[in-house]
Chains A and B, each alone.
Chain A
Amino acid sequence: MQQYWKRLADGVELAVTQTDKFKTGLLAVTLTIPLSAASATAGALIPEVLYRGSRNYPDMERLSAAADALYGASLSTGVRQRGESQCVSVLCGFIDDRYALDGSAVLEPSAALMGEVLLDPATQEGVFRRDYLESEGANLADRIQARMNDKRSWAIFRLIQEMCAGEAYAVDKLGEVAQAKAMTAERLWADYQSLCSGAKVTFYYGGAAQPARVEDAVRRFFAPLLTGRTAPVDCLVVPEPKGPVRTVTDAMDVTQGKLAMGFRTGGVTMGSDSYPALLVCNALYGGSANSKLFINVREKMSLCYYASSMLDKIKGLMVVSSGVEFSTFDRTQEAILAQLDTIRRGDFTEDELTAAARTVVCSLRSRQDSQSQLEDDQLTRLLFHDSQEGESLIGAVEAVTADQVVEAAQKLKLDTVYRLTGKEG
């Protein structure tokens, strides 16, 4: 597996992972802007409206048929959050030329289709088609409201909203219901123009093709993105606020309670020297099946159906998520915090430490076996100039000491507790 990187223009970069281990190639183009309440709804709507049709494939039926003809190329558009940034992407996965039944090239026509979808949308009177905007606005509003259907992720979403209120991080990458419904074609078109001219642009390809061939395709089918760009805004990471621990409780008609607890990492993010220790600390605490939370809170104490912790390495957050009986909220919360204290006291064995480090190494190595995870990692790397990755990060994780884990645990500070409880009692 070979890694290539190239700056194609100011604010435009291309990363290529060349490998023939996959039977497919994956090409992605991503436009990144700062996440803000004023523009988030547009950022979420644009990829949906783009997916409705282009000049040559003006409806989804014809667009899907074009992808079908490329051996079922998985064309998609979407929005992602990276820290305080919003990323609008067009992605396409397509079979390698060697598996095409008629032996024709699939990379170039796939890139052409992506370029057309992103840069040459179906229009009406010089702006987005109003009927497409209207239905996508309604769909987006539905999607935002449907967040509450999955209670586990809803609890984490609500925690972040409360914990990071006032920070761009808490802005929903999908935007707001009212804005989604009220968006006009003129306004969205203007936002689309500024997205295309002002965003940071990153291309990624993973697959068997030569990097030069990929670069040619990108230059050819995305030409308008490569000229006349203003320097894009850098992706920010904001400093941590300080304050007392807050507890927020919502009631809904559910039979099982959800407990989500948000911690700040004390400024440790993926670029920090102590990031490898934080990764190991998280695995030891709640990031694996031999973690303190899993073994003690779930298995030994039977306090909950699940309890796990996860990191946001860009923002510097750790979230513990758990499903509990309403009557055991307090006991579970105490037990979860008590387990963190054991790590802070250094109360863990060398075996536990080794196992936690191995879990992290396994997950880092496994990501290289998945094309979509490679894309996801390379996007983060391109956006934040993350230098710790691949084998160098794996080496650092293997060298983490018990003291460093204790230190990482001591820096973790509980910020906000969120409880989702039932309506009765």
Chain B
Amino acid sequence: MDKLEYAALGQTIYHCVLPNGLNIYVDVRPEYGKQFAFFATRYGGMDLRFRGEDGDWLDTPAGVAHFLEHKSFDTEDGNALQRMAANGVDPNAFTSSSMTGYYFDGVQGFEENLRTLLSFVSVPWFTPESVDKEQGIIAQEIRMGEDDPNDEAYYRLLESMYMNHPIRTRVAGTVESISHITADTLYQCHRAFYRPGNMVLCAAGSIDPQRVADIAGEVLPGEPSSATPTDHGREEPRQVEKQLTRRTMPVSIPLFTLGFKGTPAEKGRGLRQRLVAELTCDVLFGPSAPLYNRLYEQGLLNSSFGSFYSSGPGYAFIVAEGESRDPEQVRREVLEEAARLGTEGIDPAQWERLKKAAYGTMVRHLNSMEDTCIELAEAHFSGEDYLSFPQVFQSIECADAETLLRSWCVEERTALSIIAPEE
């Protein structure tokens, strides 16, 4: 395996590509008691349309990636979840808009657990009966999400921001959309997306990297494969679809999500854009920024307020979310502040401090093997080198954030989603 040294971070990563196309990253940490493995496919809630084996474009109902995640734990001889739990480990999985990841952590039997993980994810086993039963379980999960005001606010925001891009689709789908999913749908999507060339394996802990590669080579299919082509719809307009959306739910004070529709990064510039966008969040509404403190003192925001940047193939946006008695006033204040910073410029001392803080925060996240593996996987799918962030920080300047403020944080690219209390 190749040994990648990141001296500034005290971090060593082993990497290889198997003949079947699978990329493997191993973060060796001898002093940790636990081992962690993360096996992911570049397939998420927004990948509804893709090119099948015969070259035709196929359309699938919303929620298949998530449904598949639930059913992947089934195996012909029983249930993989319980087999691994018998080793004292609790495997789990998640589906995001652009990725499905399966993982476990444990303190014993790592190699056996890794074999089980790779095997149940790569070998499909779906029956009409088990699909029927899962429909009930997932329908419950969807209803639970519909009762969650934060989820509801977030998806309504995405629907308002995006006209075409399937990022606006709910990852779990709807009770109606999942009713169209059959065992055949699952087999078809499994064939398309769960091939080694479309996947990545990241592991961390006190483990031998070569053994990880050997086991993956033994368990997974050997024939070469590559990433699956997906279609995310017609090109998105620059502006949002709808600037305001509002509904009532049983909440104590209004919740809101405020979104700024951005421009996706050029190839190879994703990590840089992410760092610029996250710093822009800090400059505009971070806890050491004037705006947040002013609105907090006016009682317009409370400590639940936060912001993040999200991006993937064909989309990039900034979200600020929280609780406020007057979310529309928050939006006005944010847009004014963005315009002011965009013209007057960012205070250089504040900028340097925030860069230092952002660097330290990313170093801190490396404590977590889970976070590190997921970051490595995401970076792999977008063709980035995550652990190069100390160098990328050095190349970023104030002007980058100012440009972003002027271009993204303007009225026509801003949408607000409010969940108001019932009368």
- Residue A41 at the chain B interface, CB threshold 8 Å: no
Nearest-neighbour CB distance to chain A for B225, whole angstroms, equals 30
Contact A365 B33 (CB under 8 A): yes
Chain A: residues with Cβ within 8 Å of the partner, total of 71
CA distance A289 to B293 in the complex (A): 44
What sequence of 0s and 1s flags, for each residue 131-151 of chain B, a beta carbon within 8 Å of any chain A beta carbon? 001001100110110111110
Contact A305 B140 (CB under 8 A): yes
Given A254-B147, A323-B144, A362-B106, decide whether A23 and B356 contact each other with a Cβ distance below 8 A.
no
Minimum-distance CB pairs A-B, first 4: A358-B88, A71-B360, A72-B357, A64-B288
Contact A355 B286 (CB under 8 A): no
What sequence of 0s and 1s flags, for each residue 357-371 of chain A, a beta carbon within 8 Å of any chain B beta carbon? 111111001101111
Contact A256 B144 (CB under 8 A): yes
Interface set of A (CB-CB < 8 Å, partner B): 1, 19-24, 48, 59-62, 64-65, 67-74, 93-95, 98-99, 101, 131, 135, 138-139, 142-143, 145-146, 148-151, 252-256, 288-290, 295, 298-299, 302, 304-305, 323, 325, 351, 354-355, 357-362, 365-366, 368-371
Bin the interface of chain B by size. Answer: 35 or more
List chain A residues, Cβ under 8 A from B140: 256, 304-305, 323, 325
- Residue B1 at the chain A interface, CB threshold 8 Å: no
Contact A95 B107 (CB under 8 A): no
- Residue B364 at the chain A interface, CB threshold 8 Å: yes
Contact A289 B85 (CB under 8 A): yes
Closest residue on chain A to residue B86 by CB atoms: A355
Q: Which of A1, A23, A65, A255 contacts B363 (CB 8 A)?
A: A23
Given A59-B293, A305-B140, decide whether A71 and B32 contact each other with a Cβ distance below 8 A.
no
CA distance A369 to B366 in the complex (A): 12
Given A64-B286, A355-B85, A359-B90, decide whether A256 and B143 contact each other with a Cβ distance below 8 A.
yes
Contact A305 B88 (CB under 8 A): no
- Residue B341 at the chain A interface, CB threshold 8 Å: no
CA distance A68 to B10 in the complex (A): 22
CA distance A71 to B358 in the complex (A): 7
Contact B290 A94 (CB under 8 A): no
Contact A368 B363 (CB under 8 A): no
Contact A290 B85 (CB under 8 A): yes
List chain A residues, Cβ under 8 A from B144: 256, 305, 323
List chain B residues, Cβ under 8 A from A366: 33-34, 105, 107
Interface set of B (CB-CB < 8 Å, partner A): 8-10, 29, 31-34, 79, 81-82, 84-91, 105-108, 133, 136-137, 140-141, 143-144, 146-150, 249-253, 255, 286-290, 292-293, 296-297, 299, 302-304, 323, 350, 353-354, 356-361, 363-364, 366-369, 422
CA distance A150 to B304 in the complex (A): 14
Query: Which of B86, B255, B290 is the most central at the interface, judged by chain A CB atoms within 10 Å of its CB?
Result: B86
Q: Which of A19, A21, A302 contacts B137 (CB 8 A)?
A: A302
Nearest-neighbour CB distance to chain B for A389, whole angstroms, equals 14
Q: Which of A74, A131, A290 contacts B297 (CB 8 A)?
A: A131
Given A149-B251, A290-B82, decide whether A23 and B90 contact each other with a Cβ distance below 8 A.
no
Nearest-neighbour CB distance to chain A for B325, whole angstroms, equals 9
Q: A62-B288, A143-B302, A359-B88 are in contact. List 6 more A-B contacts (CB 8 A).
A: A21-B31, A60-B288, A61-B292, A325-B140, A358-B89, A361-B108
Nearest-neighbour CB distance to chain B for A77, whole angstroms, equals 11
Mostly, the A contact residues are: helix
Nearest-neighbour CB distance to chain A for B41, whole angstroms, equals 21
Query: Which of A95, A354, A357 is the most central at the interface, judged by chain B CB atoms within 10 Å of its CB?
Result: A95
Closest residue on chain B to residue A74 by CB atoms: B364
List chain B residues, Cβ under 8 A from A143: 302
Can you list 29 contacts pairing A with B, beta carbon distance less than 8 Å? A23-B363, A23-B366, A23-B367, A61-B288, A64-B287, A64-B288, A68-B354, A69-B357, A145-B252, A146-B253, A149-B149, A256-B140, A288-B90, A289-B81, A289-B84, A305-B137, A305-B141, A323-B140, A323-B144, A354-B86, A355-B85, A355-B88, A361-B107, A362-B34, A362-B90, A362-B106, A362-B107, A369-B32, A370-B367
Contact B252 A148 (CB under 8 A): yes
Nearest-neighbour CB distance to chain A for B133, whole angstroms, equals 6
List chain B residues, Cβ under 8 A from A361: 88, 107-108
Closest residue on chain B to residue A287 by CB atoms: B90
Contact B85 A359 (CB under 8 A): yes
List chain B residues, Cβ under 8 A from A302: 133, 136-137
Nearest-neighbour CB distance to chain A for B185, whole angstroms, equals 21
Query: Which of A60, A72, A304, A370 is the most central at the interface, judged by chain B CB atoms within 10 Å of its CB?
Result: A72
